[in-house]
Every structure is written in C-alpha cells, then in structure tokens.
Amino acid sequence: MAINVTRSSMPAFEEYCEEIRELWDTHWLTNNGIKLRTLQGKLQEYLQSPYVAMFTNGHLALEAVLASMELEGEVITTPYSFASTTHAIVRNGLKPVFCDIRSDDYTMDASKIEALITDKTCAIVPVHVYGNLCDAEAIDAIAKKHNLKVIYDAAHAFGVTKNGQAAATFGDASMFSFHATKMFNTIEGGAVATNDKALYDRLALERNFGISGPEDVPMIGGNAKMNEFQAAMGLCNLRHVDENIRARKHVHDLYMELLGGHEGITLPISQVDVEGCYVYFPVLFDGENYRRDEVFDKLTALDIHTRKYFYPLITDFECYRGMDGFDSSATPIAKSVSDQILTLPLYPDLADEDIRRICAGILAGRHI
C-alpha cells in the first residue's frame, strides 16, 4: 500500500454533516456567517490572540497583511520556505532580501539580520519552519531598534507554544495556513493573528473588495473571504486538534527511536521550552553515508512518498532566475540544508508498522 507524505485530517462524515445542517435553514453560505464567527472566536482563544482575521487561504492572508501595512522598499526574509513567503513580498511590489538560516532548527539566523538592514528596509518576514519557532525575542528587538514591522509566516506553527505562549503572540502579525496538508485544516484557509485592532479592521476591508458598508467603498480591496463550509470543517477539526498533536507526537517519537544513532542522518531537534505540533519530520542526509536523492528514489520505488521540502531554495526558482539579490550562494546554510533535506510521511493515523517499513527502507539505502 502506498504511503503518502501526508494525509489530511478529517472529522467523521456524520460530524461534518451535523455541522453544516443549519446552513440549509439559513442559506447563508459566506460573508461573515455564523460558522466563520464561531470559528474565529475559538481561534482567538486557541491562538491567544485578541484579533484573528479569517481568510480563504494563508497566502492571500500574507499578501493582505503586507498590503495593509502600506510597506515600501526592502523586506528581510528567508529563502528556506514555501514559495508563498517570497511571492507575497514580490507581489506587493517589495524587494526581498535573503537572510541565511540556523543550521540547528532552520529558522532565520537572527545574528545575521542587522548586516542586511539598509535605509530602505521596512519589515522582516521570518518563518517558523516545521513548527520550529524563530528567535522571536532577538528578531522583535532588532525590529524595534530599527523601526521595522515583523510579520511571521506561522503557517507551520499552529498549536506551537513557548513557555505556554502561542506563536501567534510574536511580532506585529502572524499568518497561519489552514490548508488541507497543514496540522489544522479548513480544507483551504488561513488567518492573520494580531494585537492591532486597526490592522484587523484594515484586513477586513482588504479581503472584501474594500467595502465597509452598503454604500461605502473606501479602499481598493480584493476578495479573500473564508466561506461557511470551510469554517464548518475548521470547527470539526479543531475539536480533534489536541488528540491529533498527541498522535503525531507518537509518530515523531517512533521515528526518533528507529533512526537515532545512525551516522549521516540528522534528526529534528526539540527546542527548549517549546511544545511543538509535530507537523513535519525533516531529516538531513549527509551526502556521504546517505545521499538524499538516492534515499528519495529508493523509498519512491517502495511506494513510500517523501518530499524534498524545501528544495529547491526559493532563490533558485525559475521565476526569479537572474533577478537582483536572488543568489543562493549568499545563504550557504540554507543551500546546504535544502540539498540534504527530506521530510518523511507524518500524519496522525500512520501505523507503527508503516513507520518501521519507512525506516527500514531508509537504512537499507545507505550509500557506503
């Protein structure tokens, strides 16, 4: 049987049907409906954030928050992320400036940020990669000193806390993705969490054509609203999210046990004081004892589907080729991690015997 890299979490069929039943009474399918408002309230609590602006996906949420801040100039970000992070910056007419990452948790290396700041820098967009939290204390201090905005791409950090404090509480705003493949999903979906009421109000306009009332259109907004069926899926999935994290932790722990102590394989670290969400299981192969592409091919032949996530680096994408500042040799750690990385299958109901089969496949793929 094929093992895919992920498997979307879904509630019982009956649970979802029960959740959407009332939509057949109200015929209210989108535009700030009851399901959306209920989910928003629950997420404010879960993410420990006073304002959570709901979106139809995470990418448009990120584009909207950058647009809402009316930024101009350069934005410091990481090349070690999903396409969305840099695309959102570029599509807002901003210039990304790439900072290298840490070799232990793959987040932006805060000690390298200040050297990249110029008089054009307006913001920093770091990413909590694989649910590993950025050094928010250091990043937020640098931002304060230089008067920069900080927008976290927290697409991987749903349910992650440090000393009990949710990732959503860092910086000026955090974007979350509720895409089908993420730890918590609304099929497609996303949100911006912030402490800033004015930003929240602006985001509401940004996602609804800039319309503020029946006869008032103060702004040129787009359309990025979450609909009631998405929100209903979220309400169901949120009920199971903590048990989902526990089941993922079991998979994570078994991988750690079976792959630990093998030369040439680097396993994910656990950050101090951080409760993770176990959304991905990233492994590095050193290129000598194990070669990433060989392991990938051998597993694929066994019908086990892993993902080179993130490879290639954003700075190596075809669409950015030759553009000023897009140079992967300027971020050597990101480049080397990207060449060695493989994320293994991880979802709550991945069976122990499948995990054993995956690990045996990896270990049998040793190069020397």
Ligand X SMILES: *Cc1c(COP(=O)(O)O)cnc(C)c1O
**Stretch 142-161 residues interacting with ligand X (CB under 6 A):** 153, 155-156
CB 230 to ligand X: min, Å: 11
Burial class from Cβ neighbours inside 10 Å (0-12, 13-18, 19+) for residue 164 reads exposed
User: Helices 34-46 & 228-239, crossing angle to 10 degrees?
Assistant: 40
Size of the site for ligand X (CB under 6 A): 14
Among the residue ranges 56-64, 193-201, 226-234, 297-305, the one whose residues contact ligand X (CB under 6 A): 56-64
Q: Which is nearer to ligand X, 238 or 265 (CB)?
A: 238
Binding mask 172-191 for ligand X (x = CB under 6 A): -----x-x----------x-
Structure-block tokens of residue 188: 């497609």
Binding mask 222-261 for ligand X (x = CB under 6 A): ----------------------------------------
Separation between Cα atoms, residue 64 and residue 208, nearest integer Å: 11
Q: Which of 6, 57, 174, 338 binds ligand X (CB under 6 A)?
A: 57
Separation between Cα atoms, residue 23 and residue 164, nearest integer Å: 36
User: Helices 83-90 & 58-68, crossing angle to 10 degrees?
Assistant: 30
Residue 343 within binding range of ligand X, rule CB under 6 A: no
Q: Which of 46, 51, 80, 82 binds ligand X (CB under 6 A)?
A: 82
Tokens 């930003």 locate to 199
Cα 328 to the chain's mean position, in Å? 21
Q: What is the DSSP string of 149-179?
A: EEEEE-TT-TT-EETTEEGGGSSSEEEEE--
Q: Which is nearer to ligand X, 90 or 363 (CB)?
A: 90
Q: Which of 6, 9, 77, 84 binds ligand X (CB under 6 A)?
A: 84
Q: Which of 58, 79, 159, 276 binds ligand X (CB under 6 A)?
A: 58
Among the residue ranges 53-61, 251-259, 292-300, 311-319, the one whose residues contact ligand X (CB under 6 A): 53-61
Residue 63 within binding range of ligand X, rule CB under 6 A: no
With CB atoms as reference, the residue minimizing the distance to ligand X is 58
**Stretch 106-145 residues interacting with ligand X (CB under 6 A):** 127
CB 71 to ligand X: min, Å: 18
**Stretch 190-219 residues interacting with ligand X (CB under 6 A):** 190
Q: Which helix (H) or strand (E) holds 190?
A: strand 190-194
User: Helices 197-206 & 58-68, crossing angle to 10 degrees?
Assistant: 120
Question: What letter represents residue 315's amino acid?
Answer: T
The torsion angle over the Cα atoms of residues 33, 39, 42 and 45, rounded to 10 degrees, is -90
Residue 188 near residue 230 (C-beta atoms within 8 A): yes
Question: What letter represents residue 113's amino acid?
Answer: I
Radius of gyration (C-alpha) of the chain in whole angstroms: 21
Among the residue ranges 81-89, 192-200, 269-277, 300-308, the one whose residues contact ligand X (CB under 6 A): 81-89
Residue 81 within binding range of ligand X, rule CB under 6 A: yes
Among the residue ranges 79-87, 144-152, 323-331, 356-364, the one whose residues contact ligand X (CB under 6 A): 79-87
CB 74 to ligand X: min, Å: 20
Structure-block tokens of residue 347: 């979802």
Binding site for ligand X (CB under 6 A): 57-59, 81-82, 84-85, 127, 153, 155-156, 177, 179, 190
